[in-house]
Chain A
Amino acid sequence: DQQVKQNSPSLSVQEGRISILNCDYTNSMFDYFLWYKKYPAEGPTFLISISSIKDKNEDGRFTVFLNKSAKHLSLHIVPSQPGDSAVYFCAASSRGGSNTGKLIFGQGTTLQVKP
């Protein structure tokens, strides 16, 4: 039972254009969502997060949008740069009143940004 799904295994965009990575979830108890970036032979690194009380969070070139009714979130990268080429993982957690909780990850989307 895949609670967090990234249906696009790969995405290729031109440098300078927008990259949009999508993620869907099924568990309505999820209240905290994160995006991670992973290079080969390295651990995932945290990019950006969003709480379920918000529908948008922005950090520089990265913006995460959350649509709770559709159980869908997306990561926008504008403008895309070749250094953004990596695997991107969506993750979700049911934190409730605590500030930690296990993360459930999607399968990942490999982004390639072409110069």
Chain B
Amino acid sequence: GAGVSQSPSNKVTEKGKDVELRCDPISGHTALYWYRQSLGQGLEFLIYFQGNSAPDKSGLPSDRFSAERTGGSVSTLTIQRTQQEDSAVYLCASSLGGAGGYTFGSGTRLTVV
């Protein structure tokens, strides 16, 4: 597609439930990133996939968070046993590298009630 697509755009879930967030990067982009933005905060790095290399998971806040990138394209971020502090906008970005920036999707707004 023309841009980075994220689904769903909004998700309300009950505390303790699992959620899956999806990201379709720009075709051909080798790098894919997940960030989150909590209310009034900056963008917090979560995880980074680059080609076939092992992902950089250094930003995942707990073992309830995991992510996969299948076939070097679509990525899924899974949050198990959601907590209220997980409420945030989850943003995905992809990149081909070079002097340009990273292209972000519009995000998934997650609300845990």
Q: Do A and B bind each other?
A: yes
Q: Which residues of A contact B (CB under 8 A)?
A: 6, 34, 36, 41-47, 49, 51, 89, 91, 98-108
User: Which residue on chain B has the smallest CB distance to residue A106?
Assistant: B42
Q: Which residues of B contact A (CB under 8 A)?
A: 4, 30-31, 33, 35, 41-45, 48, 50, 56, 59, 91, 93, 95, 97-107
Instruction: Please report the C-alpha to C-alpha distance between residue A91 and residue B102 in the assembled complex, in whole angstroms.
Output: 11
B45 contacts A103, C-beta separation under 8 Å: yes
User: Which residue on chain A has the smallest CB distance to residue B32?
Assistant: A100
Instruction: Please report the C-alpha to C-alpha distance between residue A103 and residue B97 in the assembled complex, in whole angstroms.
Output: 12
Least Cβ distance of B1 to chain A in Å? 14
Instruction: Please report the C-alpha to C-alpha distance between residue A45 and residue B104 in the assembled complex, in whole angstroms.
Output: 7
Given contacts A42-B106, A43-B105, A108-B42, A100 and B50 within 8 Å (CB-CB)? yes
B48 contacts A102, C-beta separation under 8 Å: yes
User: Which residue on chain B has the smallest CB distance to residue A42?
Assistant: B106
A103 contacts B106, C-beta separation under 8 Å: no
